[in-house]
């Protein structure tokens, strides 16, 4: 059985689903951030796979992946900054306890 586009797309879906589960069902903000990173990674796999199998000469998917990595980095930076800022005020990173809009 040779490797096809489906393999990569299914792997991507599984990783995305795991990330989705983590992002929705966890209390810790850091774990949620990590789950989002997994989801972004899954999307990157899908992008690169599309690029490799559908338009191998154009690399458009890889360019998209580069932007995804850029956005992931930005998201992680700001997200962590927010988490630490909240932790400094509230002494917790449990998002179920961070439910006030203003304090």
- Positions 21 through 50 that interact with other proteins (CB under 8 A): 21-22, 24-28, 30-31, 33-35, 37-38, 41, 44-45, 48-49
> In the stretch 57-86, what mask flags binding to other proteins with x, by CB under 8 A?
xxxx-xx-xxx-xxxxxx-xxx-xxxxxx-
Determine, following the binding rule CB under 8 A, whether residue 6 of this chain makes contact with other proteins.
Answer: yes
Q: How far is the CB of 26 from other proteins (least distance, A)?
A: 6
Q: How far is the CB of 16 from other proteins (least distance, A)?
A: 7
Between 18 and 103, name the residue whose CB sits nearer to other proteins: 18
Nearest to 72 by CA among 42, 48, 40: 40
Among 93, 99, 102, 103, binds other proteins (CB under 8 A): 93
Q: How far is the CB of 44 from other proteins (least distance, A)?
A: 7
Q: What is the DSSP letter of 57?
A: T
| Helix axes 29-53 and 5-25, enclosed angle (nearest 10) | 170
Nearest to 73 by CA among 65, 61, 84: 65
Distance CA 103, CA 101 (A): 7
What is the CA 16 to chain-centroid distance, rounded? 8
């Amino acid at each position: 059985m040779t490797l096809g586009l489906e393999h990569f797309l299914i792997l991507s879906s599984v990783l995305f689903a795991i990330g989705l589960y983590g992002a929705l069902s966890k209390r810790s903000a850091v774990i949620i951030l990590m789950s989002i990173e997994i989801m972004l990674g899954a999307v990157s796999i899908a992008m690169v796979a599309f690029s490799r199998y559908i338009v191998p000469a154009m690399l458009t998917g890889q360019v998209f992946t580069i932007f995804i990595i850029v956005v992931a980095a930005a998201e992680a930076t700001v997200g962590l900054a927010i988490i630490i800022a909240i932790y400094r005020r509230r002494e917790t990173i449990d998002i179920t306890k961070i439910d006030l809009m203003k304090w």
